[in-house]
Amino acid sequence: MRIILLGAPGVGKGTQALLLARALNVPQISTGDMLRAAVQAQTSLGLDAKSFMDSGRLVPDEIIIDLAVDRIKQPDCAHGFIFDGFPRTLAQAQALHEKDVAIDHVIEIKVSDEDIIRRLSGRRIHQPSGRIYHVDFDPPHTPGKDNHTGEDLIQREDDKEVTIRKRLHVYRDQTEPLVAYYQQALPSGGLTPQFHCISGTGDVAQIQGEILGLLGR
Ligand code: AMP
């Protein structure tokens, strides 16, 4: 099961990828999480990536392709993986194909722009634990404070509304062309993945059930 989850920021790719990873017993590979860990650890990759991420732009292809391709060479990917947030440009998708990384399923998750802005701009994070809240849908007991420690919650720099709009623009411009790319047979033979599209609006468990159904599980 080698799966790509495709969709704009905020459609719930990360949530669904995590559930799917558990259900299929394969790792979730989020290039966004890998980059955030590198930023936190202040590695040279993190230092290079930070300004792109904070402003809602994509990190250059040559950095991200090596990161993703090296990751799936790890032994835990032997039976498959779920890419969450990769590939995000045609060059990244073509690099996978050229490196003979076969993909079985591509699942596009769709949510309206207004819903995405509401979801992301209300998100708050307790950085030390990774706990996530939402000012409307899952508010902390005390506004701005973590329920368990009472410490401050933060808003990710790229979850500010102006940056979300920029990220949506970048998605339409650079990532959406992958929908057409994966809907047709891939060039020069090789396995063409099955393409599916679902709505990301509604109950998390129900969407997960729908995805598992598409995968024949
Ligand atoms: P995410 O958490 O997946 O939304 O990723 C956060 C940020 O990391 C993005 O806005 C990009 O700046 C960067 N990033 C993550 N994945 C990629 C990718 N495949 N290509 C380029 N940049 C990426």
0.75 surpassed by pTM: yes
**H helices present in 103-203, as ranges:** 113-121, 161-170, 177-183
173: pLDDT strictly greater than 90: yes
Query: Which residue's alpha carbon is nearest to atom 19 within ligand 1?
Result: 86
Ligand 1 mutation target, pool 4, 30, 35, most atoms within 8 A of CB: 35
Task: Determine what percent of the chain falls in helix, strand and coil, rounding each to the nearest 5.
Answer: 45, 15, 35
Q: Which two tokens stand for residue 45?
A: 């990759």
Q: Which atom of ligand 1 is nearest to the CA of 30?
A: 3
Whether 65 is covered by a domain: the verdict is no
Mind telling me the catalytic residues?
13, 88, 123, 156, 167
Q: Is 149 helix (H, G, I), strand (E, B) or coil?
A: coil
Instruction: Tell whether omega for the bond before 143 is within 30 degrees of 0, i.e. cis.
Output: no
Ligand 1 centroid from CA 87, angstroms: 9
162 token code pair: 């102006």
57 in any annotated domain? no
| Separation CA 85–CA 71 (nearest Å) | 14
For residue 72, tell me if it sits in a domain. Answer: no
Q: Does 101 have pLDDT greater than 90?
A: yes
Task: Let me know if residue 74 belongs to a domain.
Answer: no
If one counts the domains in the chain, the total is 1
Ligand 1, CB within 6 Å, residue ranges = 9, 30-32, 35, 52-53, 56-59, 64, 85-88, 92, 158, 167
| In-domain check, residue 20 | yes
Q: DSSP letter string over 152-179?
A: BPB--GGGSHHHHHHHHHHIIIIITHHH
Q: Name the residue with the closest Cα to ligand 1, atom 8.
A: 32
173: domain range? 2-26+79-214
* Domain-embedded: residue 202: yes
Please give the distance, rounded to the nearest whole angstrom, from the Cα atom of residue 166 to the centre of ligand 1: 13
In this structure, the strands spanning 81-84 and 131-134 are unpaired
| Residue 173 forms part of a structural domain | yes
Over the stretch 40-63, which tens digit does the pLDDT of each residue have?
999 999 999 999 999 889 999 999
CATH of the domain at 119: 3.40.50.300
What are the tens digits of pLDDT across the range 55-87? 889 999 999 999 999 999 999 999 999 999 999
Question: Is residue 138 domain-resident?
Answer: yes
Whether 118 and 136 have beta carbons less than 8 Å apart is answered as yes
